[in-house]
A and B are shown apart, each in its own frame.
Chain A
């Protein structure tokens, strides 16, 4: 059990370091980030604790290397994760692939929005620099959704059940 947790933490740390030092040196169209898809992969296999730890470690590594005194990924990601969980528990009970993709997109959009908001406050208070949406934001979203879909597909295939690609409507 402990060994499994150590391996998990090491894996998460590697993913987080890749997002910081690896992805930014690749051409923009293959700038693949791993931590968010991985966390949501855990989230939708109902390993909430794993998902939270993955996001927490990912955010901590981001803050270690880019914290500018005000805008903290640790703070933003913790809040967004809480919001996502609350949203998923109350409204998004259907675990279809559409829901998975929607939440990944919502997480990333909220991440950028909150970074923009916090950096704005930080500028007013004289702490941080202005936030800029990544130039290749579409490819970031596409890769995150694609990786989540692949992960979801693999786990469904290994469990012996097919991925439900669309939710069932009433009466079907």
Chain B
């Protein structure tokens, strides 16, 4: 009786494993394992976040940055409300009226390397999340969109990821200005801006609201450098984010109110 050589068994095993993995047979096991490991994951995030926070040498600067972000976000929100003649209202009410509600989530994995910028959050299909929904920080600043979804977790592609594209507008313009493209390594560029647009440094960029699952008037960042000649059909600009992605641990996902689970 002939025996199969060890190397051949090994190779066949690997090929079989590869086929199983790529056909998605393991997807139910993956969902189940994610649910099982989520508590452990949250615990580790808590531990390492506390270590990371204690390493920060200048908490005061961080506090001031956070306050600036919060003030900017409030300013944008108030300007948006003024433009729409709705008067002052709280963030929650704004979300209610705009037809969105938010669901809080914790970041359980962070990937900020080169061209990639993504989070894994502990909310998924079970919480009525969908691909393309906007993800914001607790200050209301948009940081990305849901790109991949599982039962209990979801992946968020951040605005600086090379795959990210968001329709954007300048604060006060009230119309689509350009497309915000992620360039990796923490960089974002506003492209396809008509040269007739009055683009200046320190202007605030917000979401245009032309995408189905992304509401308008979510603050994104400031214009830092404008490039292009007046003779060019389009100009572009570098955008500086309002938040530091490596310090975000809690986020909210905006979902249409119709999708919110009925209690």
Binding site for B on A (CB under 8 A): 13-14, 17-18, 20-27, 30, 60-61, 63-70, 72, 74-75, 78-79, 82, 129-130, 132-135
Contact A133 B44 (CB under 8 A): no
Q: Which residues on the B side are within 8 Å of A30 (C-beta)? A: 55
Contact mask for chain B residues 166-192; partner A; CB cutoff 8 A; 1 contact, 0 none: 000000000000000000110000000
Contact mask for chain B residues 8-32; partner A; CB cutoff 8 A; 1 contact, 0 none: 0010011001100110101000100
Contact B113 A132 (CB under 8 A): yes
Contact A64 B33 (CB under 8 A): yes
Residue of A nearest to B186 (CB): A135
Q: Which residues on the A side are within 8 Å of B47 (C-beta)? A: 22
* B217 to A: closest C-beta gap in Å: 29
Q: Which residues on the A side are within 8 Å of B198 (C-beta)? A: none
Interchain CB contact (< 8 A) of B148 among A68, A74, A133: A68
Within the assembled complex, what's the spacing in Å between the Cα atoms of A14 and B116?
26
Interchain CB contact (< 8 A) of A64 among B37, B42, B161: B37
Chain A contact surface mostly: helix
Number of interface residues of B (CB under 8 A): 42
Q: Which residues on the A side are within 8 Å of B220 (C-beta)? A: none
Q: Which residues on the A side are within 8 Å of B14 (C-beta)? A: 75, 78-79, 82
Known pairs A67-B30, A70-B22; A24 contacts B110 (CB<8 A):
yes
B243 within 8 A of A: no
Residue of A nearest to B31 (CB): A64
Within the assembled complex, what's the spacing in Å between the Cα atoms of A98 and B14?
30
Interchain CB contact (< 8 A) of A21 among B10, B18, B44, B113: B44
Contact mask for chain B residues 106-132; partner A; CB cutoff 8 A; 1 contact, 0 none: 001111111110001000000000000
Interchain CB contact (< 8 A) of A23 among B21, B41, B48, B162: B48
23 A-B contact pairs sorted by A residue (CB < 8 Å): A20-B41, A20-B44, A22-B44, A26-B52, A27-B55, A63-B21, A63-B26, A63-B30, A64-B34, A65-B37, A69-B22, A69-B24, A74-B21, A75-B14, A75-B18, A75-B21, A78-B14, A78-B17, A130-B115, A130-B116, A133-B113, A134-B114, A135-B185
B163 within 8 A of A: yes
* A61 to B: closest C-beta gap in Å: 7
B90 within 8 A of A: no
Contact B116 A129 (CB under 8 A): yes
Q: 3 nearest interchain CB pairs?
A: A132-B114, A25-B48, A21-B44
List 14 other contacts, CB 8 Å, given A21-B108, A132-B113, A132-B116: A20-B109, A21-B48, A22-B44, A26-B52, A27-B52, A63-B21, A64-B30, A64-B34, A64-B37, A65-B37, A65-B109, A130-B116, A130-B162, A133-B113
* A156 to B: closest C-beta gap in Å: 30
Within the assembled complex, what's the spacing in Å between the Cα atoms of A13 and B44?
12
